[in-house]
Chain A
Amino acid sequence: RKEVEQDPGPFNVPEGATVAFNCTYSNSASQSFFWYRQDCRKEPKLLMSVYSSGNEDGRFTAQLNRASQYISLLIRDSKLSDSATYLCVVNMNTGGFKTIFGAGTRLFVKA
């Protein structure tokens, strides 16, 4: 089992739709969590950190569920420009620094 797992998708949604992605992690020692977006053939860019209390940035909401060991990303009112691959990242301290990227979830937003 992978330490961080994401549904690869693709998710195909119309403009204006709400879409949610989950990312599960297996190590309970995981300490910090992030969502990045990556456009085709580009570098990843930080979208948002994920906090236990949940956090929101405009149309994006991130949640952490430590009991069930997953993080989620909700995108409301999807735009064409949201089309990208969304990567979840989990940092762990298991006697040393360890960071695991999920393989990503592809999102296509269509007009």
Chain B
Amino acid sequence: DAGITQSPRHKVTETGTPVTLRCHQTENHRYMYWYRQDPGHGLRLIHYSYGVKDTDKGEVSDGYSVSRSKTEDFLLTLESATSSQTSVYFCATSETGLGEKLFFGSGTQLSVL
């Protein structure tokens, strides 16, 4: 399995506070992704990266920003957390192409109260 570590694994925060989730990979994969998973929905892409400092928006990017200053790290920031952002967040990487053969981290359960 690809070495993908997400931190924190669980977080509870209050509405209006900024939150940063971290994804760290040891596989030197070029592509990295942030997804959220909610009951009744498939995983939905928030943002993705196709290289250091190269990022783009996914289908549910409002209220989120990302940064990738090193190949191995991809940060997701909720600028001002809202209750609708309560979700499980998964980081993923791929080596061969955008969306190809994704390897996922263990997820972060975020609760916004």
Contacts and interface: CB of A to CB of B under 8 A. Distances in A.
Nearest to B42: A101
B101 A103 contact: no
A45 interface: yes
B43 A97 contact: no
Contacts of B103: 46
A103 B41 contact: yes
B99 A44 contact: no
Interface in B75-96: 90
Contact of B101 (A49, A97, A98, A104): A49
A22 interface: no
A104 B44 CA distance: 13
Interface in B26-49: 35, 40-45, 48
A96 B42 contact: no
A101 B104 CA distance: 14
A75 B106 CA distance: 26
A91 interface: yes
Give chain B's interface secondary structure class. Answer: loop
B98 A87 contact: no
A87 B35 CA distance: 14
B56 A96 contact: yes
A95 to B, nearest CB: 12
A91 B43 contact: no
B101 A43 contact: no
A44 B100 contact: no
A99 B60 CA distance: 12
Interface of A: 4, 32, 34, 36, 42-46, 49, 87, 89, 91, 96-104
Given A91-B98, A100-B42, A104-B42, 17 more contacts: A4-B42, A36-B102, A43-B105, A44-B43, A46-B103, A49-B101, A89-B99, A91-B99, A91-B100, A96-B56, A97-B48, A98-B45, A98-B59, A99-B98, A101-B42, A101-B43, A103-B42
